[in-house]
Amino acid sequence: MQFTFDENCGNETLEIKDEVYNYLIKARRHKIDDEIYFRNLKDSFIYLYKMSFIDKKKALLTLVFKEEKIVENQNKLHVGWCVVDPKTIEKFIPSLNEMGVDKITFIYADFSQKNFKINIEKLEKILINSSCQCGRSSIIKLDVCKSIDEFMKSNEDVYFLDFSKLNVSEKKAEIKTLVIGCEGGFSKKERDSFNKDKIVGFDSNFILRSETAIISAGAKILL
């Protein structure tokens, strides 16, 4: 772990209990006078605290210093991810966070299963753990959109990942917003609405799973 998350860090005194207490005291076996880095993932500061008190249910820490330390990918990418099985999203979203994806909007496309529900709170917990591991000073911003048409109206210069002779790598400097289809791809109605000059693809004839496509595209654009 590069740091520990606590939404209340920043105060002169920090009380930890429950999950954070179990992790730091029981798992990591921290003791009095140990110094530990924290972030709240709301501001750009990293906080160093010293352990000052421990009992059987909670611990108190005292702020030593804070330092502004922004750890972000300089390239910004907004991904429109057409909704797939939430279990797939939960498995692969940490990798997108580690790459530095700025925002994901989950889109209920024509071929998305409408019974799939996006649990933003659960995904944010997964992202917090990912940022603690990789050192990122924020997490991916998350949103939900009811259709591709609505997404296009709310965002400018939208690119679409589909079958195309134009490789995504050739447009990596220009792509700031990219839509990835769900398992069934895009419907004819959706494809007819795309700007044909903003359709990009890979040098492959294979049909990729949604998660393979999003990881591959993210890596080509951001890394």
Q: pLDDT tens, 120-163?
A: 999 999 999 999 999 999 999 999 999 999 999 999 999 999 99
Protein fold of 78-222: Alpha/beta knot (3.40.1280)
| CA dist., res. 41 & res. 6, Å (int) | 8
CA distances to 13, 92, 98 from 129, rounded to whole Å, are 23, 13, 11
pLDDT in the model for residue 130: 98
Task: Please state whether 100 falls in left (phi above 0), alpha (psi between -120 and 50) or beta.
Answer: left
pLDDT in the model for residue 205: 87
Give the pLDDT confidence of 78-118 residue by residue, as tens digits.
Answer: 999 999 999 999 999 999 999 999 999 999 999 999 999 99
Delimiting residues of CATH 3.40.1280.10 domain(s) in the chain: 78-222
Kindly report the average pLDDT of the chain as a whole number: 97
CB 160 within 8 A of CB 200: yes
Delimiting residues of CATH 2.40.240.20 domain(s) in the chain: 4-68
Give the pLDDT confidence of 42-82 residue by residue, as tens digits.
Answer: 999 999 999 999 999 999 999 999 999 999 999 999 999 99
| CATH class of the domain comprising 4-68 | mainly beta
pLDDT in the model for residue 146: 97
